[in-house]
Amino acid sequence: MDLRFTEEQEILKQSARDFLATECPKTLVRELERSEKGHSPELWQKMAGLGWMGLIVPEEYDGIGYTFQDLTVLLEEMGRNILPGPFLATVTSTFPILEAGSEEQKKDLLPKIAQGEIILTTALLEEDGVFDAASIRVNAAPKGDDFVINGTKLFVDMAHVADHIICVTRTNEGAPEKGITLFIIDASTPGISCEVMPTTANDKLCEVRFENVTVPRKNILGKLDEGWPIVENLLRKGAISRCVESIGAIQTCIDMTVAYAKERVQYDRPIGAFQALQHKMADMWTAMETGRYLAYEAAWMESSGLPCAKEASMAKAYVNEVYRDVSKWAIRLHGAIATSDDHDIPLFYRRSKAADTAFGSTDFHREIVAQKIGLG
Amino acid sequence: MDFSLTDEQKSRSREFNDTCNELNKKRPKSLVGFEAIYELDECWEYNLYCAREFAKKGWLALGWPPEYDGKGDMMDRVLFAEARGYYGTPGVDIFGVQMLAPTLLQAASEEIKREFLPPIARGEAMWCELWSEPNAGSDLATLAATAIKKGDEYIINGQKTWNTGAHRADWGFGVFKTDPEARKHHNMTFLLLDMKTPGITVRPIEYLDGSAPYCEVYFDDVHVPARNIVGQEHEGWSVVNLLAGFERSGINEIMSMMRGLEEMVAFCNETKRNGKPLSKDPVIRNRLAQLACELEAARALAYRVADLQNRNEMSLMDASAGKIFFSELGERFAFVAGDILGPYGQIRTSRWAPQNGQWEKMFHEHFITTISMGTNEIQRNIIAWYGLGLPRMR
Ligand SMILES: Cc1cc2nc3c(=O)[nH]c(=O)nc-3n(C[C@H](O)[C@H](O)[C@H](O)COP(=O)(O)OP(=O)(O)OC[C@H]3O[C@@H](n4cnc5c(N)ncnc54)[C@H](O)[C@@H]3O)c2cc1C
């Protein structure tokens, strides 16, 4: 056992930290929140220059060929700094292409992803808002060599700037998990319309409507009717990714709170001298550190190809609440100053809500854990 | 012991509820949450309208002595607060009606009472609280803004902050250092000032949800008549403590959560996920049942505080316990509701948001009650030191 990062990972971590600190200051974060797009093409190009979008893309497709765990090292730094935009949407949509894409699809898309030329997202959730196969009702009907897609997707991350949408559709009305098919759809195809939903984190989740959208059969990702296991893998990897990103954010909330508690004087002493606050900060740190190693364990298992549905769900369920509670306490320990939008802590608190629901809520993942520990 | 209301109280409670229900029909849809009245013009107008309607019935002077045109008693205030909380009806200025008026009745001169109480009762003068400063929050006694007496005026200089509704208010009550040489707690004076006085600059601050309920207030040689004083010169600290005792009892917030619980129950009964009503989900049932227990406990404790106040037996411990409990219940409620709504819990007021986005709003607003009115850590100190008699921090 060796729970340290490798030397390359340490280098990646440090360079990501330095890059984000200079290239993605909080002024940009706020500007992007307020803008309609929520995406900075300039920043995106610089990130592409560092090879980030191609981090997990194999070298044969012009990527860097790093592991999933290497990716989580980068994601933690993105969480620590906050990086708005379509990075996570693109990377999580890359997983299913790597896993199930045809050679033609990989050759077409992966080099462009790695170069930062295209943005991807995955359209999964619908009206029910739950991550299970039964709630997929957007329909893809065969018509000659094509399929025609109809229906509405919700909460689609950054769909309004995406070039391609991986759409999870129903192609067969049989058992819920048996008739799911994934399509890679060019976002400019006629019949697709998109509207940004106003969210707590201003993170540009979209409603995407498909009206008689015609997609060639060759755009099926994986096999007809057999898409659900691909979705499950995406959800699991997405959950771990989001979790590690949250750990970075939690770390910042704690760092800022501890620093402020040393500085802010009330009753002739730094507020950090009050034991009531010291214990609270010690609890926050303990919650982070347990969540951190739980998330690292899940990331390591995923990266090593070990089955880890249970660990991934444990990590997501646990870290969801840690992020929410720590960022809430960060505000309370700061006092009024951190209830103002000018302060950075609310940027994190509001994102804890987004992190909570993305790739499965606490209750959703607890149910998976309940099944995995043998509750009949 | 008897928790019941008299027949007379029951009928008054019905009248309060009916009136709020009626006023609700004119409620703007944009009025979501507690603080929106300060932000949007149409909500502020509605607040003023409700205030005038209440004033016509004499309800802004509930519990005042008859010589100041008061009506009813302290229990009426409680019943009225319940009705307003349940219907989310604004119109009772928390600063003027709830906090300043009872303070003036106890601590102000006859002249000040005659001048300032009637406009409050008529719902005409809206107030704000000018206490906190950048470096004086919990430790308010270290405040730095000064009011130096010159002839029959005070000249105010300095800065206040986090002042709720200061951009809307006609008047402000504040504490300022009047004797920089004197020792702590005997160096400040409680003053009433017209917010339109030259030299006052009010700058709204954005709250974390992007709304603007509170402000920074700057004073640059602001002249205030020396007679606008409450209590004794340099002894404003005792007025501050008196007024702090009248800050929100929580009854309003508790009844608002009671209503919220009813709405959440209705939502769970109506909404199906995977073909099954949410109300059948054992996790949801368990969590909402727990909230219901806590809400009833919060209300029972709020009654206890009201009952003590009715008898003029103020219990610091119960008031602090009530404040901690209802405000942290607000946090838990916001989180449970958000969990139940799943991804919809993050949708701001819009066509996609269930129940007009009130739950998303609550995710931001619960800090108002845990941090303001004396933070919950300070409330815990009060219980420990003054209530339980534990050794005090020096
Ligand atoms: C929404 C909102 C509305 C407000 N409206 C008004 C208004 O209308 N008028 C007005 O004057 N002010 C208003 N305030 C300000 C409010 O009164 C202060 O925020 C409050 O007194 C706390 O002060 P602070 O924010 O400076 O925090 P600080 O006093 O700096 O406290 C920071 C942290 O230290 C803790 N702490 C401080 N002292 C102790 C101690 N002795 N023991 C243990 N812990 C301690 C606090 O609990 C907190 O967690 C408002 C605040 C908010 C959030």
Express each pLDDT in B356-378 by its tens digit. Answer: 999 999 999 999 999 999 999 99
Q: How far is B205 from chain A (nearest CA, A)?
A: 7
User: For ligand 1, what atom is nearest to the CA of residue B368?
Assistant: 1
Q: Please indicate whether, in this complex, the C-beta atoms of A336 and B346 are within 8 angstroms of each other.
A: no
- Residue B36 reports pLDDT greater than 80: yes
The residue to mutate among B176, B217, B372, B386, having the most atoms of ligand 1 within 8 angstroms of its beta carbon, is: B372
- Residue A125 reports pLDDT greater than 80: yes
Which residue do the tokens 């004073």 mark?
B219
Average pLDDT over residues B5-30: 96
Q: Which CATH class is domain A7-118?
A: mainly alpha
Q: Contact, B327 vs B365, CB < 8 A?
A: no
- Residue B18 reports pLDDT greater than 70: yes
φ, ψ of residue B326 to 5 degrees: the values are: -70, -35
Average pLDDT over residues B19-34: 94
Q: How far is A235 from chain B (nearest CA, A)?
A: 15
The residues on A that touch B, with CB distances below 8 Å, are 125, 128-130, 132, 134-135, 154-155, 197-201, 205, 207, 265-267, 274, 276-277, 324, 328, 331-332, 335-336, 338-343, 346, 349-350, 353-354, 356-357, 361-363
Site from A155, A200, A269 to mutate, B interface, most B CB atoms within 10 angstroms: A200
- Residue B314 reports pLDDT greater than 80: no
Q: Among A265, A336, A353, whose Cβ lies nearest the Cβ of B346?
A: A353
Contacts of A124 (CB under 8 A, 6+ apart): A131, A136, A153, A156, A168, A231
- Residue A218 reports pLDDT greater than 70: yes
CB pairs under 8 A between A and B: 109
- Residue B169's SS3 state is coil
Contacts of A56 (CB under 8 A, 6+ apart): A63, A64, A65, A66, A67, A68, A70, A71, A91, A94, A95, A98
In which element (H, E) is residue A155 found? strand A146-157
Instruction: For ligand 1, say whether the CB of B206 is within 6 Å of any of its atoms.
Output: no
Fold match, A121-226 / A229-372:
no
Distance B370 CA to ligand 1 centre (A): 9
Any alpha helices (H) in B25-167, and if so which ranges?
A: 36-39, 41-56, 74-87, 101-107, 110-121
Beta partners for residue A197, in sequence order? A205
φ, ψ of residue A6 to 5 degrees: the values are: -70, 170
Which residue's CA lies nearest to atom 12 of ligand 1? B132
- Residue A356's SS3 state is helix
Instruction: Give residues 157 to 186 of B whose Cβ lies within 8 Å of A.
Output: 161-162
Instruction: For ligand 1, say whether the CB of A335 is within 6 Å of any of its atoms.
Output: yes
Average pLDDT over residues A109-125: 98
Average pLDDT over residues B32-61: 96
pLDDT digits (tens, 9 = 90+) for A140-185: 999 999 999 999 999 999 999 999 999 999 999 989 999 999 999 9
Q: Contact, A239 vs A184, CB < 8 A?
A: no
Rounded to the nearest integer, the mean pLDDT of chain A is 97
Average pLDDT over residues A49-58: 97
Q: Contact, A210 vs A149, CB < 8 A?
A: yes
Q: How far is B49 from chain A (nearest CA, A)?
A: 29
User: For ligand 1, what atom is nearest to the CA of residue B165?
Assistant: 8
Average pLDDT over residues A37-57: 97
Average pLDDT over residues A322-347: 98
Q: Which CATH class is domain A121-226?
A: mainly beta
Chain B residues whose beta carbon lies within 8 Å of the beta carbon of residue A354: 346
Give the C-alpha separation, B36 to B43, whole Å. 7
- Residue B151 reports pLDDT greater than 70: yes
Reported residue count of chain A is 376
Q: Which of A6-15, B30-39, B149-158 has the lowest mean pLDDT?
A: B30-39
Q: Among B208, B346, B368, whose Cβ lies nearest the Cβ of A349?
A: B208
What is the CB neighbour count within 10 angstroms for residue A60? 11
A46 pLDDT band, cuts 50/70/90, is: very high
φ, ψ of residue B136 to 5 degrees: the values are: -130, 95
- Residue B41 reports pLDDT greater than 90: yes
Average pLDDT over residues B56-64: 96
A28 pLDDT band, cuts 50/70/90, is: very high
Chain A residues whose beta carbon lies within 8 Å of the beta carbon of residue B162: 336
Instruction: For ligand 1, say whether the CB of A266 is within 6 Å of any of its atoms.
Output: yes
Q: Contact, B349 vs A197, CB < 8 A?
A: no
Establish if B377 touches chain A: CB-CB under 8 angstroms: yes
Nearest-5° Cα angle at A355, A312 to B271: 95
Q: What is the largest CA-CA distance in chain B?
A: 76
Q: Among A129, A130, A200, whose Cβ lies nearest the Cβ of B363?
A: A200
Chain A residues whose beta carbon lies within 8 Å of the beta carbon of residue B385: none
pLDDT digits (tens, 9 = 90+) for A196-207: 999 999 999 999
Per DSSP, B217 falls in state: E
- Residue B318 reports pLDDT greater than 70: yes
Which domains, from first to last, does chain B contain? 7-92 (1.10.540.10), 128-236 (2.40.110.10), 248-387 (1.20.140.10)
B307 pLDDT band, cuts 50/70/90, is: confident
Closest alpha carbon within chain B to A126? B343
* CA A176, chain centre distance (Å): 25
Beta partners for residue B215, in sequence order? B163, B204
Chain A residues whose beta carbon lies within 8 Å of the beta carbon of residue B332: none
Give the C-alpha separation, A80 to A68, whole Å. 18
Q: Tell me, what's the ipTM? A: 0.97
Establish if B286 touches chain A: CB-CB under 8 angstroms: no
- Residue A78's SS3 state is helix
Q: Among A200, A265, A336, whose Cβ lies nearest the Cβ of B360?
A: A200
- Residue B321 reports pLDDT greater than 70: yes
In which element (H, E) is residue B321 found? helix B316-341
SS (H, E, C) B242-268: HHHCCCCCCHHHHHHHHHHHHHHHHHH
Q: How far is B393 from chain A (nearest CA, A)?
A: 9
pLDDT of residue B248: 65
Instruction: For ligand 1, say whether the CB of A256 is within 6 Å of any of its atoms.
Output: no
Give the C-alpha separation, A183 to B233, whole Å. 77
Q: How far is B196 from chain A (nearest CA, A)?
A: 25
Give the C-alpha separation, A318 to A366, whole Å. 9
Note the pTM of the prediction, 2 decimals: 0.97
Distance B371 CA to ligand 1 centre (A): 5
Average pLDDT over residues A36-47: 97
Per DSSP, A25 falls in state: -
Reported residue count of chain B is 394
Concatenating the DSSP letter of every residue in A169-206 gives EE---SSTTTSEEEEEEETTSTTEEEEEEPBTT---EE
Any alpha helices (H) in chain A, and if so which ranges?
A: 7-23, 26-34, 41-49, 68-81, 87-100, 103-114, 228-263, 275-303, 309-334, 345-357, 362-372
Domain definitions of chain A by residue range = 7-118, 121-226, 229-372
pLDDT of residue B16: 98
Q: What is the CA radius of gyration of chain A?
A: 21
Buried b / exposed e along A82-104 (16+ C-beta atoms within 10 A): bbbbbbbbbbbbbbbbeebbeee
pLDDT digits (tens, 9 = 90+) for B220-248: 999 999 999 999 999 999 999 999 888 66
Closest to B85 measured CA to CA, from B304, B245, B261: B261
Query: For chain B, where are the E strands, in sequence order?
Result: 127-130, 146-150, 153-164, 171-177, 188-194, 200-205, 214-225, 229-230, 272-273, 276-277
Establish if B34 touches chain A: CB-CB under 8 angstroms: no
Distance A263 CA to ligand 1 centre (A): 15
Site from B346, B360, B376, B394 to mutate, A interface, most A CB atoms within 10 angstroms: B346
Which residue do the tokens 């005659």 mark?
B114
Instruction: For ligand 1, say whether the CB of B163 is within 6 Å of any of its atoms.
Output: yes
Closest to A88 measured CA to CA, from A111, A55, A110: A55
Q: Which CATH class is domain A229-372?
A: mainly alpha
Q: Which of A196-200, A234-238, B300-304 has the lowest mean pLDDT?
A: B300-304
pLDDT digits (tens, 9 = 90+) for A241-293: 999 999 999 999 999 999 999 999 999 999 999 999 999 999 999 999 999 99
pLDDT digits (tens, 9 = 90+) for B191-205: 999 999 999 999 999
Closest to B51 measured CA to CA, from B93, B98, B16, B94: B93
